[in-house]
Structure 1
Amino acid sequence: MIEPTSGDILLGRGVRINNHPGNEAYSYREIISENAATYAASTKSDKTNLSTNIFTQLLNSNPPRRFLEKSETGKWQEVPLKRAVTKISNTIFGRNEELSSLKECYRRSVSGKTEFAFISGHAGIGKSFLAYEFGKHVIMSGGIFLAGKFDQLQQGKPFSALASAFNGYCGMLMQSSELQKRREVVASKLRSSLGREVYYLTKIIPCLNDILGSEQSDDSFYDDGCVDAQRRLQYLLCQFVEVLSSSFAAPVTLFLDDLQWADSASIAAVRQLLCSTGSSSKQKQFFFVGCHREGIIDIDSAHPVRELVCHTELLGVSFTSLKLDSMGKRR
């Protein structure tokens, strides 16, 4: 165990401290405790998406005294978000070039250019860490960061990673009273844009029910194996992204991990997202980041991701490929 010093940033529970000093203003334990029962009762395959949701909620939360540091006098003091994120970001080693590339892609997406960044590399090389490190930059810049992860055991469950990404964001919106105005805007815009169709989304995004705050529901039967149902959800997810982007004048970044396990319906939804934002005459801000683990499944001509990668130019999308190798090979 290491005693925090004046050079450290404290996020979470500190050494020899019964409670993080910032908990007097806001308790991160609330996020954990609210999800603990569901996590414990879930299957092994569901735990992956649930843990991603929890991480995203923590990442997006920005209550008072989130970051603290110990002064030279030994007292805890609040650290401004920008300085804390900058200081924490300095812990990423050897990936500054790739991180800069992602930031440049994001800058173009802010200007209205739809972007697609494809991160590949072997297991444990830092793909996910790089993406989440970039996610800090998105949030600090005022953007919206959605994150989901495909799972080998859920390949037969369409939209699992997308549902996790959107559900995580909706769950984050419910965590603080300070976000009530944003929740109201999202609910109002979704109802206005989609009418009763918005309740169909709650079939895969349960936390959206809390935001809508209504007892209404879509009584139609949902069969995730039905092509018509999948197309309906693809359209509604596209509308959801458009509502988020237009409501807050903020770029939307969607990060999906482990694309090698992606199902064809999810990739079709991503393609529609890229197509609707890339070819539209309206200025929309959308950035898709996908990670692929090499050495598991080759993304050949038969894999749905291959078609997505090969047709980005036809979709009017700027494509950036980042292949991560071992940092030990660099000189």
Structure 2
Amino acid sequence: MEIDQRSDLYSLGAIFYEIITGNLPLIVNDLVEWTHAHLARKIETPENFNPSIPTIISRIIMRLLEKAPEDRYQSAYGLLEDLKECKRQITLKGAIEPFPIAHKDVSANFHLPKKLYGRYKDRIVLKEAFDYVCDGHAAIVLVSGYPGIGKTMLVNECLKSFVQEKGHFIAGKFDQLKQSIPYAPISAAFANLVKRLMTENQEILEAWKKKILHALGRNGTVITEFIPELEWIIGKQNPIDLLSPKETENRFQMVFRDFVMALSGKEYPLVIFLDDLQWADSSSLHLLRYLSQDANLQYILFIGAYRENEVDENHALTDMLTEFNKGKVFFRHISLLPIEKKQILEMITETLHTGNENITGLVETLYRKTAGNPFFLEV
């Protein structure tokens, strides 16, 4: 998340909240819970604490405390103008009547909103897949489209919001220049999950340690060689027997499956997002194919994104798509199209803080020059 002056405005909102209500916006038991609380928990409005607090004051404070920076005040100037209007009304009338807040709120810096526009049908597909996984199943969703069309934005914006309430979202990105390194993005994604688990309190961390050790048995080293950070939780593991290359791969796939199953469950479904699959190494694709064929996997959602213009009929992903379509596992394929003109209109309206009638020509020009590709709108 971008850190700028809007972070300071959020902090100011927290100060106002405590001054007005006598309470913090969020109350947690320990430091570890703060990040989750800021991202996921809904803040109670000041009016709920004290009905005598003017509605406008409550709305101003809640706008300052919006979770998404683009939904907060964009400038101290806009906030100051609203507070001046509140003071003016109190001076003249002794009360504050409702008025549209943030009407004069324009940032001194140019910001394109970091949010998803449109894609409503695609959001529904992802939500259905996540709900299916939360019911105790496994699912696969592949998202394809041209470069810059918004594949990564779609997955990140939708799935992170779903998982905020419960579960884990991890992501890895394949690199065209690192195709010779097997499993690299998968290893990095799970390493980040381990780091996240390390922030839990000792009791929870000990529970994870027992669960992972039980799943891995005597094969802990198979995973710690793949994810060295895991030793922070389960400790140094005993050496394993040397096998032939094929047997080594088979062992790794089986042990990794058990490891993934240990990290997922009813209270914490696991979402694994792998981006740029068109550059995936063969070992990673074999691993994904192996996992997708396991009927015992539960509470796991695999999401992959790839550039469809770089995947032809001879690409390994094409064969996987065919297998997924014929398989028994829940599978959906989203082919992203360019955004529509009305989404560009919405984006420019929010960016420039102006009415639709003032930007019709600009929207037409942008739509014609970018063909509805969000990436080209940003550059």
TM more than 0.5: yes
| Counterpart secondary structure, 1:228 | helix
Q: Which residue of the partner structure matches residue 286 of structure 1?
A: 300
- Per-residue deviation, 1:314: 4.5
- Runs of 5+ consecutive residues of structure 2 not aligned to the other structure: 15-32, 44-55, 73-112, 344-379
Q: Which residue of the partner structure matches residue 15 of structure 1?
A: 5
Q: Which residue of the partner structure matches residue 252 of structure 2?
A: 233
- Is 1:197 matched with 2:224? no
Within 1, Cα distance between the matches of 2:337 and 2:68?
A: 28
Within 2, Cα distance between the matches of 1:141 and 1:20?
A: 22
Q: Which residue of the partner structure matches residue 180 of structure 2?
A: 156
> Contact (CA 8 Å) 1:66, 1:78: kept in 2 or not?
no
| Counterpart secondary structure, 1:142 | coil
Summarize deviations over 1:26-79 as a string: whole Å, max 9, x none.
Answer: xxxxxxxxxxxxxxxxxxxxxxxxxxxxxxxxxx9825556999x959879995
> Contact (CA 8 Å) 1:113, 1:285: kept in 2 or not?
yes
> Contact (CA 8 Å) 2:273, 2:302: kept in 1 or not?
yes
- One-letter code aligned to 1:101: V
| Counterpart secondary structure, 1:311 | helix
Match of 1:62 among 31, 35, 44: 35
**Superposition pairs for residues 21-100 of structure 1, below 5 Å?**
21=11, 62-63=35-36, 65=38, 72=57, 79=65, 91-100=115-124
Match of 1:270 among 288, 301, 315: 288
**Superposition pairs for residues 85-124 of structure 1, below 5 Å?**
91-124=115-148
- Aligned identity (percent) is 27
- Per-residue deviation, 1:293: 1.2
- One-letter code aligned to 1:194: L
Within 2, Cα distance between the matches of 1:330 and 1:17?
A: 30
| Counterpart secondary structure, 2:328 | coil
| Counterpart secondary structure, 2:239 | coil
> Contact (CA 8 Å) 2:9, 2:64: kept in 1 or not?
no
Within 1, Cα distance between the matches of 2:193 and 2:318?
A: 28
| Counterpart secondary structure, 1:208 | helix
Within 2, Cα distance between the matches of 1:204 and 1:19?
A: 42
Q: Which residue of the partner structure matches residue 304 of structure 1?
A: 316
Within 2, Cα distance between the matches of 1:166 and 1:237?
A: 11
- C-alpha change, 1:303 and 1:90, in structure 2 (3 Å) is closer
| Counterpart secondary structure, 1:207 | helix
- Runs of 5+ consecutive residues of structure 1 not aligned to the other structure: 1-10, 25-59
Q: Which residue of the partner structure matches residue 157 of structure 2?
A: 133
Within 1, Cα distance between the matches of 2:7 and 2:135?
A: 45
Q: Tell me the TM-score normalised to structure 1 length.
A: 0.69
- C-alpha change, 1:17 and 1:139, in structure 2 (3 Å) is closer
Q: Tell me the TM-score normalised to structure 2 length.
A: 0.61
- C-alpha change, 1:218 and 1:314, in structure 2 (3 Å) is farther
Q: Which residue of the partner structure matches residue 47 of structure 1?
A: none
Within 1, Cα distance between the matches of 2:307 and 2:204?
A: 36
- Per-residue deviation, 1:21: 4.3
- Per-residue deviation, 1:320: 1.0
- Per-residue deviation, 1:195: 1.7
> Contact (CA 8 Å) 2:10, 2:64: kept in 1 or not?
no
Within 1, Cα distance between the matches of 2:167 and 2:247?
A: 32
Number of positions where the alignment pairs a residue of Structure 1 with one of Structure 2:
270
- One-letter code aligned to 2:151: K
Within 1, Cα distance between the matches of 2:262 and 2:272?
A: 14
- C-alpha change, 1:94 and 1:228, in structure 2 (3 Å) is same
- C-alpha change, 1:211 and 1:129, in structure 2 (3 Å) is same
- Per-residue deviation, 1:99: 1.2
Q: Which residue of the partner structure matches residue 348 of structure 2?
A: none
> Contact (CA 8 Å) 2:173, 2:185: kept in 1 or not?
yes
Within 1, Cα distance between the matches of 2:34 and 2:292?
A: 27
- C-alpha change, 1:129 and 1:90, in structure 2 (3 Å) is closer
Within 2, Cα distance between the matches of 1:257 and 1:16?
A: 30
- Per-residue deviation, 1:156: 1.2
Larger radius of gyration: 2
Summarize deviations over 1:114-140 as a string: whole Å, max 9, x none.
Answer: 221110011111100111112213322
> Contact (CA 8 Å) 2:311, 2:318: kept in 1 or not?
no
Within 1, Cα distance between the matches of 2:156 and 2:116?
A: 11
Match of 1:320 among 332, 335, 350: 332
Q: Which residue of the partner structure matches residue 274 of structure 2?
A: 256
Q: Which residue of the partner structure matches residue 189 of structure 2?
A: 165
CA RMSD of aligned residues (A): 3.8
